[in-house]
Amino acid sequence: MLNIKRIYEAPAATDGRWVLVERLWPRGLTKQRAAVDLLLKEVAPSPELRRWFSHDPQKWAEFREQYRVELKTKMEILGQLQEMAAAGSVTLVYAAHDPCTTVPACSKKSWMSWPPSLECHKDMLCLV
């Protein structure tokens, strides 16, 4: 099962492995307190795409499409996530305040279709 959660929330027993999908470490959070099992910054948007997007809602549709293009080059890592999710619960954690425009919300739905064997158990309000 694949879930998403803000990293500043308390872990739940049902979360399984916590996978941080951010290029930058979350502010004000020590590695010990974060309790992250795995950091996969490689699947976060490229620095160039992040800078261009700059959390501008007007750019969301184009950001989403460009990020999908980037994700298609990360199939090996996405396969690792698929294997982890098949073996048990995995929670993608993020730092952004707005879950509607956060990368894991976008990427989770994208990962659900790459590969198609993953199923969406918790749909976020994302415009993918």
**Is residue 120 in a domain?**
no
> Range with the lowest mean pLDDT among 34-43, 49-58, 69-78, 118-127?
118-127
pLDDT tens profile 109-128: 555 443 333 333 333 323 23
**Is residue 126 in a domain?**
no
**Is residue 48 in a domain?**
yes
Q: At what angle do helices 60-72 and 103-113 cross, to 10 degrees?
A: 50
The answer, yes or no, to whether residue 101 has pLDDT greater than 90, is no
- What is the secondary structure of the chain as a DSSP string? -EEEEETTSPP-GGG-EEEE--SSPPTT--HHHHT-SEE-GGGSPPHHHHHHHTT-GGGHHHHHHHHHHHHHTTHHHHHHHHHHHHHS-EEEEE--S-GGG-HHHHHHHHHHHSSTT---SS--S---
Q: How many structural domains does the chain have?
A: 1
**Is residue 128 in a domain?**
no
Q: What is the pLDDT of residue 105?
A: 54
pTM of the complete model: 0.74
**Is residue 18 in a domain?**
yes
Structural domain harbouring 63: 2-113
**Is residue 43 in a domain?**
yes
The answer, yes or no, to whether residue 15 has pLDDT greater than 50, is yes
**Is residue 73 in a domain?**
yes
Q: What is the pLDDT of residue 125?
A: 28
**Is residue 84 in a domain?**
yes
